[in-house]
A and B are shown apart, each in its own frame.
Chain A
Amino acid sequence: EADIYQTPRYLVIGTGKKITLECSQTMGHDKMYWYQQDPGMELHLIHYSYGVNSTEKGDLSSESTVSRIRTEHFPLTLESARPSHTSQYLCATSVEGEETQYFGPGTRLLVL
């Protein structure tokens, strides 16, 4: 069954720690996205990728970085977590040539 997986689902971590949020998909989609969403608020695009070795920054400035070494994997890394990074992070995918996006379950991050 084609799906989008995000791990961890919940993460509580101290300031200054390095963290990597994982996103994997079995959809076979070329395009992948990372969004940041505060509770009850809008979705902000922070990174996206059109395929392997392609990464772009989104509309919202972010201190995170991403990589796309494999089609199915699009991890997001925070080198030094801060309380301002507390949010929900959603990964999404879409097919090349289409913009309909399919979202993963999200990772809720709390930085103390």
Chain B
Amino acid sequence: QQPVQSPQAVILREGEDAVINCSSSKALYSVHWYRQKHGEAPVFLMILLKGGEQKGHDKISASFNEKKQQSSLYLTASQLSYSGTYFCGTESPNDYKLSFGAGTTVTVRA
């Protein structure tokens, strides 16, 4: 029931791009993205509601394909501060709570 994230980990150099995918076997109402730095609590990045919208947060953006039941997070021109573990949280209709993926660890190196 928990969404599947891929890849599990990615290593980037500053300025490179990356894509993190989140897929669910259930119909989705919304997808939430969080970033957790080592030793800290997860921090909310953005929410995408059904309708296929795309959102951005600085140079981090995301898309949501409701029909495919998946979302992608795009890290563009990555910065050192982007390092951390990214989790997607999915909400299904009438579920009223989030199911989190296993996380994707992003390491950005100078």
1/0 contact string of A69-112 vs chain B (CB within 8 Å): 00000000000000000000010000000011111111000000
Residue numbers in A under 8 Å from B85 (CB-CB): 40
Are B41 and A101 in contact, with the CB atoms below 8 A? no
In this complex, the interface size class of chain A, counting residues with CB under 8 Å from chain B, is: 20 to 34
**Which stretch of B15-23, B56-64, B67-75, B93-101 is in the interface?**
B93-101
Question: What is the CA–CA distance of A70 and B105 in the complex, to the nearest angstrom?
Answer: 37
A21 close to chain B: CB less than 8 A: no
Residue numbers in A under 8 Å from B79 (CB-CB): none
B78 close to chain A: CB less than 8 A: no
Picked from B1, B96, B100, the residue with its CB within 8 Å of the CB of A42 is B100
Are B87 and A101 in contact, with the CB atoms below 8 A? no
A41 close to chain B: CB less than 8 A: yes
Knowing that A35-B100, A90-B42, A103-B34 touch, tell me 6 more A-B residue pairs with CB under 8 angstroms: A42-B2, A43-B42, A45-B98, A58-B97, A90-B41, A99-B30
Residue numbers in B under 8 Å from A99 (CB-CB): 30, 32, 47, 89, 91, 96-98
Are A101 and B99 in contact, with the CB atoms below 8 A? no
B43 close to chain A: CB less than 8 A: yes
Are A33 and B41 in contact, with the CB atoms below 8 A? no
1/0 contact string of A36-57 vs chain B (CB within 8 Å): 0000111101001010000000
Residue numbers in B under 8 Å from A1 (CB-CB): none
Residue numbers in B under 8 Å from A104 (CB-CB): 41
Residue numbers in B under 8 Å from A43 (CB-CB): 42, 87, 100
Are B32 and A101 in contact, with the CB atoms below 8 A? yes
Which chain A residue shows the least CB distance to B5? A42
